[in-house]
Amino acid sequence: MRVFVDMLRCFKSYRMWTNQYVKESFYAKDSATRQDIGAKHLVKGLERDLWQKDFVANRRFLNKYSSKRYSLPSLSPKRVKAYQKRYNMGDGCFIEHDVELCRQHYLPGTIKIGRNVLLAKHVFIDYSGGVTIGDDSQITDGVKILTHYHMHHHVRSKSRLEEGNDVPLSLVVGKNAVIGTNTIIMASCSRIGNNVRIGAGAVVTKDVPDNATAVGIPAKVIKINE
Question: For residue 43, with 0-12 CB atoms within 10 Å meaning exposed, 13-18 middle and 19 or more buried, which class applies?
Answer: exposed
Q: Within a 13 Å sphere around the CA of 177, how many CA atoms are in the beta-carbon half? A: 26
- Among candidate residues 80, 62, 79, 61, the one with its CA nearest the CA of residue 70: 79
3-state secondary structure of 118: strand
User: Cα separation of 105 and 138, whole Å?
Assistant: 27
User: Do residues 146 and 168 lie in contact, with contact meaning Cβ atoms separated by under 8 Å?
Assistant: no
Catalytic residue positions, numbered: 150
Q: In the 3-class helix/strand/coil scheme, how is 25-86 assigned residue by residue?
A: CHHHCCHHHHHHHHHHHHHHHHHHHHHHHHHHHHHHHHHHHCCHHHHCCCCHHHHHHHHHHH
User: Cα separation of 132 and 169, whole Å?
Assistant: 12
User: Cα separation of 188 and 206, whole Å?
Assistant: 6
Find how far residue 11's CA is from the centre of its chain.
28
User: Do residues 148 and 167 lie in contact, with contact meaning Cβ atoms separated by under 8 Å?
Assistant: yes
